[in-house]
Amino acid sequence: MQKSEVLLHYIESLDVGSRISVRQMAMHQHVSAGTAYRAIKAAKDRGLVATIDRVGTVRTDPRPRSTGTSLTFADLVRIINGTVLGGNAGLDKPLEKFVIGAMKNSAMEHYISRNSLLIVGNREEAQMLALRSGAAVLITGGFDSTKEVTQQANAAALPVITTSYDTFTVATMINRALSDQAIRRDILTVASLYTPLADASYLVVPATIADYMAMNEASGHAELPVVSASGRVLGVATPATVLGKRPGSMIERGMEKHPAVVKTAESVATVNHLMQARGINLVPVVDDAGQLLGVLTKATVLAQLQDVPVQERLPDTIADQLSAALHAQDVADSELNACYTVATAPMMTNKYGALNVGVLSGLITSAASKFLRGQGRQNVLVDKLDLTTVRPIQLTAHVEIKLRVLEINRRNAIFDVDIDADKQVAAKALLTCQLLERN
């Protein structure tokens, strides 16, 4: 057995969630650092290990090469710039929904389900409840977990993650990520259409032209991938490439040596364009290492493109909900350009019952965007927000966001913003936006 295969078998023997490094592997297996590095890279191509921000390289379960139809806890760590405190073995599990732990444990239990995420502060009992119910834990505010919580996370293979962001901010980030993921799911990709290797027809060297002819007749496919003994794509044999060759000739002499290949994450529309441009009816589907995963035919692509289902309406993001909470008011003050009242909700408050600063920032940017859209400026990008809070805004307060335009031109808009609560100034802000015009 080759040394590379020995090292791959060693990696496979590690427990899922185990950390692995080039140095540790080189010392344990008595090989050079370069050999260990190449083995870890090969294992990554096979899905045996993954490198996760702020965690390192860890042993994972091999997953199908797809476009990522669900958000995983490893993705979550990257999105919120979090740190994993325990439960590394569960980082590749899918995140199906999240729950904000702003209630008593007895009430919270009803909402927690397997593969969900509980967003909570430094409440050990709530964290343990989530882990025992099959849910991961995200601790906001930068708090650490206790030894007992970490042990439970490791035993249950459920991640416990900490982040310095507040609850509302991370909820917004996760909500947006889940929405983006839903959009990706609706995009047709190679992963959802290709014929897997077990059901595909292909030739393995040393094969001959006669082998091609026999498989062509048996499978009905005129274009057949040619792979090495290890499964790497070497070419594609077609009627044109074998024309005039003797049946006993090696298939390498009757194949296209640099064929078009696609990966599972590519969109079907892109593959269709490739097939049309190059006049081909079949493409090999490969992984990052060039290993054959299966094939995709032109007939399959065209059938799917002609029968694309109507896209369902995506759920509103938290940013959308904040925008919907704003209600335009008539402006009596000539110095103001716009005024919006806010219908506050309990989800917008912090644990003290005051409007969350992250929510307030979102409301200000939503108000400015609404005003600019009313002026025909559809493409707005918030550049800078300087917010100064004067006093807490309570849940029951009547809140007004007053916009005063300081400057507006083709490229920028600058607002002076007053936030009043019950007719008293509660905060002030200076907001700068970029206006992106279409050419």
Among 127-136, 222-231, 281-290, 428-437, the range scoring the smallest mean pLDDT is 428-437
The domain locations on the chain are 3-59, 73-185, 191-305, 318-435
CATH classification (class only), 318-435: alpha beta
Q: What's the pLDDT band for 272 if we cut at 50, 70, 90?
A: confident
Give me the pLDDT at residue 318, please. 66
The two structure tokens encoding residue 96: 């199906």
pLDDT over 50 (residue 64): no
Give me the pLDDT at residue 402, please. 94
Which residues have CB under 8 Å from 429's CB, separation 6+?
364, 385, 386, 387, 388, 415, 416, 417, 419
Beta bridge partners of 57: 51
Q: What's the pLDDT band for 108 if we cut at 50, 70, 90?
A: confident
pLDDT over 90 (residue 400): yes
Give me the pLDDT at residue 386, please. 92
CA pair distance 118, 138, nearest whole angstrom: 6
CB of 47 closer than 8 Å to CB of 65 = yes
Phi then psi dihedrals of residue 135, to 5 deg: -110, 150
Strand order in the sheet with 424-435: 326-329, 338-342, 399-408, 412-421, 424-435, 380-389
Choosing among 3.20.130.10, 3.40.50.11290, 2.40.30.40, 3.10.580.10, the CATH entry for 191-305 is: 3.10.580.10
pLDDT over 70 (residue 123): yes
pLDDT over 60 (residue 315): no
Which residues have CB under 8 Å from 232's CB, separation 6+?
289, 290, 291, 292
Cis peptide before 239 (omega within 30 of 0): no
- Could you please report the per-residue DSSP string of 214-271? HHHHHH--S-EEEE-TTSBEEEEE-HHHHTT--TTSBGGGGSBSS---B-TTSBHHHH
In percent, how much of the chain has pLDDT > 70?
88
What is the average per-residue pLDDT within 223-242?
91
pLDDT over 70 (residue 180): no
Work out the mean pLDDT of the chain and round it to a whole number: 83
Residues 355-376 pLDDT 10s: 888 889 989 999 999 999 888 8
Residues 193-225 pLDDT 10s: 888 888 889 999 999 999 999 998 888 888 999
Give me the pLDDT at residue 169, please. 82
In percent, how much of the chain has pLDDT > 90?
23
Beta bridge partners of 9: none
Give me the pLDDT at residue 136, please. 92
Nearest of 259, 84, 76, 257 to residue 180 by alpha carbon: 76
Q: Decide yes or no: CATH 3.40.50.720 for domain 73-185.
A: no
CB of 181 closer than 8 Å to CB of 67 = no
**What amino acid occupies position 35?**
T
pLDDT over 50 (residue 438): no
CB of 207 closer than 8 Å to CB of 214 = no
**What amino acid occupies position 324?**
A
The 10 Å CB-count burial string (b at 16+, else e) for 354-370 is: bbbbbbbbbbbbbbbbb
What is the average per-residue pLDDT within 328-342?
86
Give me the pLDDT at residue 431, please. 93
Give me the pLDDT at residue 65, please. 38
pLDDT over 90 (residue 161): yes
Which residues have CB under 8 Å from 9's CB, separation 6+?
none
Eight-state DSSP code of residue 355: B
The larger pLDDT score, comparing residue 24 to residue 313, is at: 24
Estimate the share of the chain in helix, then strand, then coil, as percent rounded to the nearest 5: 35, 25, 40
Query: How would you class 344 by CB atoms within 10 Å of its CB: exposed for 0-12, middle for 13-18, buried for 19 or more?
Result: buried
Give me the pLDDT at residue 437, please. 58
Residues 24-45 pLDDT 10s: 888 888 888 888 888 888 777 7
**Residue that is written with structure tokens 């809140």 in the block:** 399
The larger pLDDT score, comparing residue 43 to residue 90, is at: 90
Choosing among 3.30.930.10, 3.40.225.10, 3.40.50.300, 1.10.10.10, the CATH entry for 3-59 is: 1.10.10.10
CB of 329 closer than 8 Å to CB of 366 = no
Give me the pLDDT at residue 63, please. 44
Distances (CA, A) of 384 to 130, 329, 365, 426, 432: 38, 25, 10, 20, 5
Q: What's the pLDDT band for 314 if we cut at 50, 70, 90?
A: very low
